[in-house]
Structure 1
Amino acid sequence: MSQPVPPPGNPFAEGAVPPAPFVPPPPARNNVGLGLAAALGAALVAAGVYGGIVGAIEREIGFLAIGVGYLVGLAAGKVGGPNPALPAAAAALSLGAVYVGQLFGLAILIGKEVGVGTTEVLLDHFGLLTEAWKEDADPMSFLFFAIAAFAAFSGAKKAAS
């Protein structure tokens, strides 16, 4: 024996039309300005994290440069969409993020060695800091730039598709 099937809908709402389900609007895509802003924000955060880790462990790690680049590219592609200018902009921003991260890490190391704060090294002795970076830079430092730029470019392309 089969049981009776209840009528569809709310039996207490006579004649009421059920509301349509909420459908969120699609995310804003192909917005170059918003994509660049997201990539810049990601680059600043990634540079700080990269520099902090470099300063803490006192060496550079290539995987971190990949992470910096991919994070910048991901932010640009996800927020900005498939605009062809965004992968190149993400690559350029990742170069800057790795450079700033290396400077920040070097400032941490110099601050520890000299006994002053990192902020003082960055603000009061920036010229000496950049000179120290130039002396410390080796082919691996520039390889990290290339790795980060490639990761940003490919990350932006993948995130936009």
Structure 2
Amino acid sequence: MSQSHQPPAPSFYAEAPAPVPASDSPGLGVLAAVAAAVVAAGVYGWIISATDHQIGWAAVGVGALVGLAAGKAGGRSPALPPVAALLALAAVFAGQLFGIVLIFADKLQVSVFDILGQGASPLLEVWKGAADPLTFLFLALGGYAAFQTSRKTAS
């Protein structure tokens, strides 16, 4: 029995290029998330001082920025979403503290460094006195947003 060998049919479509492999660099993701957390905390503190209120969408924005930085820079490492969530919690908390510092500096007509020079203890006492359920809700929203954004934007 003879086998007939036919040439392959011509293709009118170019072959799709292979996908670029995902870059998994958790260290870079953590560094990017830390940088984003520092910047976001400062902006959140400024928003709090400018409005004299905490704003939920701003806390979500802090978390989303931290998560985006972690996911895009770090890739799909399973450690990044929880790390991003913790960094976002710290950033929202630091933003709340920084907002208090800015408000007191403005009301007392002193520099931010004068307030910070008093140490952390009085600042934490003011935070504790001002904390309400929304304070903790905003912390949770920031952490949740970071976790989900990091997980969904990992490349």
TM-score normalised by the shorter chain: which range applies? 0.7 to 0.9
The CA RMSD measured in Å over matched residues stands at 1.4
Percent identical among aligned pairs is 50
Alignment of 1:5-24 (within 5 A): none
How many residues are matched? 136
Q: What is the CA–CA distance in structure 2 between the aligned matches of 1:125 and 1:115, rounded to whole Å?
A: 18
- Is 1:122–2:109 an aligned residue pair? no
TM-score by length of 2: 0.84
CA separation in 1, counterparts of 2:23 and 2:137? 33
Match of 1:49 in 2: 43
Superposed, 1:42-121 pairs within 5 Å as 42-121=36-115
SS at match of 2:151: helix
Of residues 126-135 and 73-82 in structure 1, the stretch that sits farther from structure 2 once superposed is 126-135
Please, which runs of 5 or more residues in structure 1 have no aligned partner? 1-25
Match for residue 149 of structure 1 among 120, 143, 152: 143
Unpaired runs of 5+ in structure 2?
A: 1-19
Please give the alpha-carbon distance, in whole angstroms, between the structure 2 residues aligned to 1:118 and 1:30: 40
CA displacement at 1:122 relative to structure 2: 1.8
The amino acid of 1:146's aligned partner reads A
SS in 2 for 1:113: helix
Please, which moves more after superposition, 113-122 or 146-155?
Answer: 113-122
| Alpha carbons 2:67, 2:85 under 8 Å: kept | yes
What are the Cα deviations for residues 67-120 of structure 1, in whole angstroms up to 9, with x where unaligned? 000000000000000000000000000000000000000001111122211122
Deviation beyond 2 Å, 4+ runs, structure 1: 123-126
- Per-residue deviation, 1:27: 8.7
CA distance in 1, matches of 2:118, 2:136: 26
Deviation, structure 1 residue 124: 2.8
Provide the TM-score with structure 1 as the length reference.
Answer: 0.81
